[in-house]
Amino acid sequence: MKVFPHVKKIIKTFSESTTPLEKNLRKPSGRRFNVGWDISHAGRFVHVFNTLYKNREVTGTGFPDRKFMEELTNQFLYGVFNGDFKKPLFTNFMDGTNGWYRVGYNGRLGYGYSPWSMSFAALTGGYAFWMEYNNDIERLYYALLKMIISENPEIRRHVMEYYEKTHFYHYKKVRAFDFSNMENPNTKKIYDKILAVSLLFRQVATKDDYQ
């Protein structure tokens, strides 16, 4: 169920199902400027602004105030999150823009992050710490944890496509994680971060939630 039906405007630079052609990358129209940070690097906002907010007496300024922190949190919740608690996804950029990211990065052939492919960064970006500014953050991360540990085939397909396969390389989508195999060192590293986040919850997710 779409909990936030008003969140519909997703800006896409390219089609999700296709990798941008090399000839398009050389044209100014093939890129977009003045968009927000990608949500992986924007994870810095959590620690920077939380630190500034909690130490305003030290800095001697009123910035950021509570209203700013709430608005920043709301942008992540209502501008980046797709509003679907069963199959959550996140736009690639903090302003809600959902175009390709890092296409051809550092000369890599067929490389890039397609729309929604930065969703995995929501798991490790620290955004759960913003639940003190909006209770919906806890609800969202509780849903994310349930999704990750689910054995439901439909949910597993969703996780594999958007959270385990993270980017294209040589025009094929690379599977970086496998949440069904905790012996994989890359998977365990990210899963440990998710479990650390879960310590903030008042609820506890179980596999029965999605069976």
Residue 171 amino acid letter: Y
Is 10 among the domain residues? no
Is 60 inside any structural domain?
A: yes
In a domain, 40, yes or no: yes
- Asked if the structure places residue 205 within a domain, the reply is no
Looking at the domain assignment, is residue 108 inside a domain?
Answer: yes
Per residue in 151-203, pLDDT (tens digit) is: 999 999 999 999 999 999 999 999 988 888 878 887 888 777 777 776 766 65
In the chain, helix, strand, coil percent, each to 5?
Answer: 45, 10, 45
* Total domains, the chain: 1
Category of 191 on φ-ψ map: left (φ > 0), alpha (ψ -120 to 50) or beta: alpha
Residue 68 has pLDDT above 90, yes or no: yes
Could you give the CA distance from residue 137 to residue 88 in angstroms, rounded to a whole number? 12
Range of the domain at 119: 33-200
Cα separations (Å) of 177 from 56, 150, 160? 39, 15, 8
Residue 129 counted as domain residue = yes
pLDDT digits (tens, 9 = 90+) for 125-158: 889 999 999 999 989 988 998 898 899 999 999 9
7 in a structural domain: no
CA distance 21 to 155: 31
